[in-house]
A and B are shown apart, each in its own frame.
Chain A
Amino acid sequence: MQASNNPEKFVPRGAIAFFALLVVLGLIIWFGIYFLMLSRI
């Protein structure tokens, strides 16, 4: 697959996917600790 040379149509799919994965990882860690602490009340 050849990368597009047209900068107007460039979509940073890899960066978007990586960002989304980081957000999901952050959510898992944050809510993992959150529900663990709620269960200990």
Chain B
Amino acid sequence: MIDKFERNVIIAALLLSGLFIFSLFYALGARKADVTECLPYDKSYETARVNQIDKTTYQIFYVARMWSFEPAITYIPVGSEVDLFLTSQDVVHGFDIYNKNVNLMGVPGGVAKTTVRFDQPGVYKVVCHEFCGTGHQNMQAEIIVNYPKK
């Protein structure tokens, strides 16, 4: 016969695990949280560029290298949905957009992809958050979302 305290702890652990799993699916489903993807590598990802698909849909192909991101500054309108692709030409770099739910790793020979929506105007700073050498602290970029507001 199982001890009653042990039984209660097992029930509490199962309930908590269920709550966490439900919360994850809620974020993915109802709130449309994006999960970072790793894409098959292709040399074309090493060419930094911005593609406009339609009025509010963009693709930004970032290339990270010691110690800068390219494109360093990107202008997009408010309400844009942006597919971000990231690769690195030398070492592993981080890619974090301040105040957005974006956290990528730039790996040489690999491509990370995520989708992010910019509903508020502003200057969104991008920083490298993986130590990559002596110029690491200066490695940043900007995504300027219709700022100042038109």
Contacts and interface: CB of A to CB of B under 8 A. Distances in A.
Band of interface residues on B: 10 to 19
Given A12-B5, A23-B16, A34-B23, A41 B31 contact: yes
Given A12-B5, A19-B9, A34-B27, A41 B32 contact: yes
B99 interface: yes
Interface of B: 5, 9, 12, 16, 20, 23, 27, 31-34, 99-101, 117
Contacts of B5: 12, 16
A34 B20 CA distance: 10
Interface string A16-29: 10010001000100
Interface of A: 12, 16, 19, 23, 27, 30-31, 34, 37-38, 40-41
B122 to A, nearest CB: 13
Given A12-B5, A19-B9, A40 B27 contact: no
Nearest to B12: A23
Nearest to A37: B101
Given A12-B5, A19-B9, A38 B16 contact: no
A36 B5 CA distance: 34
Contacts of A41: 31-34, 101, 117
A38 B31 contact: yes
A12 to B, nearest CB: 7
